[in-house]
């Protein structure tokens, strides 16, 4: 029996916790490879590892992490976020009183590992006390070999300077298998992030479409070249792509744990990779048989991943209840506005491109949770939830699209200004896991009462797009531009793929 769905507040913080852990643990393993850990080698850090073991390793190497960090504040910020997760994920007030009081984790570094791992009663404390429910949802710490213990079954970073880093965690209490991707951390990561080119690939959703609806789904989709290469580049040693390896390992865990659900998460580059991986996992029939409630993606601070065709295919999987995605975005985070790639026509008509919403060939997917520093008005909330409703042509929606595009442009310009003026601290803060966690906490009361299922069922947010027989509408950005100029007659909203205006494949 599947556990009762948790709120988006609870699950979002759990996923941010996972994103934090993978950054820290990857750094520790790198230090081990370099021989910089006292009495510990890379062999001591191999998965599988329990939650308790993972925590012990992290805390035992706090000093080394600080030496490695560009700024010691980096480590303290991670600690602060971990503290908040531990406090707010306690199942009840008793758990908080047992040791999750304010400042608890801030004292851990100074107290030492022995004190941390031994409570007042002498019992061992698990990572669940610190990282909330990402690795273990119970308030009571698991025994080392308890069936309820959460385990990191895989941690792959053998060539972390050239390839992506990912982990797989099996959570017995939550009944889920989670894939976590590390965010940007190496020079190659940032080079891949900065690429604007798109790669045309076959659309895996096309074959699922019924004959009467198949014309509404493009044969191909365009995705970010750099992100695609990370997942689909062949490994010379294993003779497999990274996505093949992850798929096999996840299926193994789901077979060993029937009834569990697949979750995917990551921050920054990790958010983009989690979105792309979640899409391909949801398009895999065997994966859906093993995870019958579909694939759940929580991306944090993700850049764009693909074009409108990618969005069409992504939404079809959502419509079929194979996939749900909560994309968490800080309002001022410039990474979520990148890459910005205009169609060729945009170079000749840049003003038109912006006004018509054709300013970017990339399109975001999923349910967006946008977090602000503070509400603009006292009557407003410091967050908004929206969904990329199909390319509707009515005037009200058209006006909204224009305004959204202009607002995005303003946000991007503000972010670039911060970079130009070398205000990197502010740019980094808006993008940090710590800032995301703090903003989520401000919305705790409101978001605690909302589940992802409820958002996807809310027609005020998704319109009629989740209806089984929904027909996708025109996604060609330049057709909107021509309409704005008064060129050509207004066609029916529903078009076949052959009628859609194609975008640049680059």
**For residues 338-354, average pLDDT:** 48
Identify the pLDDT of residue 5: 78
Out of 144-158, 272-286, 338-352, pick the least confident: 338-352
Cβ pair 330, 299 in contact under 8 A: no
User: Of 27-41, 132-146, 285-299, 312-326, which range is least confident?
Assistant: 132-146
13: closest CA among 442, 454, 453?
442
Would the pLDDT of 237 be above 80?
yes
pLDDT band at 476 (very low <50, low <70, confident <90, very high): very low
Q: Is residue 45 a contact partner of residue 57, using CB atoms and an 8 Å limit?
A: yes
Whether the per-residue pLDDT at 483 is higher than 90: the answer is no
At the topology level, CATH places domain 8-485 in Rossmann fold (3.40.50)
At residue 300, the pLDDT reads 96
Domain edges within the chain = 8-485
SS3 48: coil
Q: In this predicted model, what pLDDT tens digit does every residue of 194-217 receive, in sequence order?
A: 567 889 999 999 988 876 576 778
Beta-bridge mates of residue 264: 179, 297
For the cut 50, the answer to whether the pLDDT of residue 221 exceeds it is yes
**Cβ count near 261 (within 10 Å):** 22
Mean pLDDT of 73-93: 49
pLDDT confidence of residue 413:
59
pTM value? 0.79
Per the CB < 8 A criterion, the answer to whether 345 and 423 are in contact is: no
Checking if the pLDDT of 58 tops 70, the result is: yes
Residues 6+ apart with CB under 8 A from 268: 183, 184, 193, 300, 301, 302, 303, 335, 431
Confidence (pLDDT) at 417: 57
pLDDT tens string 8-20: 999 999 899 888 8
Distances from the Cα of 115 to the Cαs of 51, 107, 112, 119, in angstroms? 17, 10, 6, 7
**Residue 89 vs residue 275, higher pLDDT:** 275
Q: What is the pLDDT of residue 54?
A: 84
Give 82-137 as a 3 state SS string: HHHHHHHCCCCHHHHHCCCCCCHHHHHHHHCHHHHHECCCCCECCCHHHHCCCCCC
**In this predicted structure, what is the pLDDT of residue 42?**
93
CA angle 261, 149, 95 (to 5 degrees): 100
């Amino acid at each position: 029996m599947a556990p009762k769905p948790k709120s988006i507040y609870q699950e979002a913080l759990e996923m941010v916790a996972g994103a934090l852990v993978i950054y820290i643990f990857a750094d520790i393993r790198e230090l081990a490879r370099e021989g910089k850990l006292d009495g510990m080698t890379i062999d001591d850090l191999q998965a599988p590892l329990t939650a308790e073991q993972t925590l012990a390793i992290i805390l035992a190497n706090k000093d080394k992490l600080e030496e490695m960090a560009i700024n010691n504040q980096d480590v303290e910020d991670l600690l602060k976020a971990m503290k908040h997760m531990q406090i707010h994920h306690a199942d009840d007030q008793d758990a908080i009183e047992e040791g999750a009081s304010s400042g608890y984790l801030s004292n851990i570094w100074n107290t030492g590992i022995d004190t941390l791992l031994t409570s007042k009663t002498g019992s061992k404390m698990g990572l669940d006390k610190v990282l909330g429910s990402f690795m273990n949802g119970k308030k009571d710490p698991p025994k080392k070999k308890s069936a309820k213990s959460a385990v990191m079954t895989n941690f792959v970073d053998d060539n972390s300077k050239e390839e992506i880093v990912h982990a797989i965690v099996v959570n017995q209490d939550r009944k889920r298998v989670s894939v976590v991707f590390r965010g940007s951390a190496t020079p190659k990561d940032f080079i891949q992030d900065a690429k604007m080119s798109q790669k045309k690939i076959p659309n895996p959703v096309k074959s699922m479409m019924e004959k009467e609806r198949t014309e509404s789904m493009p044969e191909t989709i365009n995705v970010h070249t750099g992100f695609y290469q990370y997942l689909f580049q062949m490994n010379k040693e294993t003779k497999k792509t990274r996505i093949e390896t992850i798929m096999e390992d996840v299926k193994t865990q789901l077979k060993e744990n029937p009834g569990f659900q697949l979750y995917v998460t990551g921050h920054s580059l990790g958010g983009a990779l989690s979105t792309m991986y979640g899409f391909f996992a949801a398009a895999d029939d065997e994966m859906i048989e093993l995870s019958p409630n579909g694939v759940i993606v929580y991306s944090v601070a993700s850049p764009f991943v693909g074009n409108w065709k990618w969005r069409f295919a992504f939404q079809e999987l959502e419509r079929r209840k194979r996939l749900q995605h909560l994309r968490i975005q800080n309002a001022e985070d410039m990474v979520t506005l990148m890459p910005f790639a205009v169609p060729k026509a945009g170079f000749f008509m840049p003003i038109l491109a912006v006004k018509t919403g054709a300013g970017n060939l990339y399109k975001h997917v999923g349910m967006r949770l946008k977090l602000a520093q503070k509400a603009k008005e006292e009557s407003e909330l410091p967050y908004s939830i929206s969904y990329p409703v199909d390319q509707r042509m009515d005037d009200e929606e058209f006006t909204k699209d224009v305004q959204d595009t202009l607002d995005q442009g303003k946000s991007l310009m503000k972010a670039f200004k911060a970079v130009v003026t070398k205000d990197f601290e502010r740019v980094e803060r808006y993008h940090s896991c710590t800032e995301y966690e703090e903003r989520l906490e401000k919305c705790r009361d409101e978001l605690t009462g909302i589940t992802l299922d409820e958002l996807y069922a809310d027609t005020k947010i998704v319109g009629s797009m989740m209806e089984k027989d929904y027909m996708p509408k025109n996604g060609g950005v330049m057709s909107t531009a021509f309409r704005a100029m008064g060129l050509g007659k207004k066609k029916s909203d529903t078009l076949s793929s052959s009628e859609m205006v194609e975008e640049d494949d680059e």
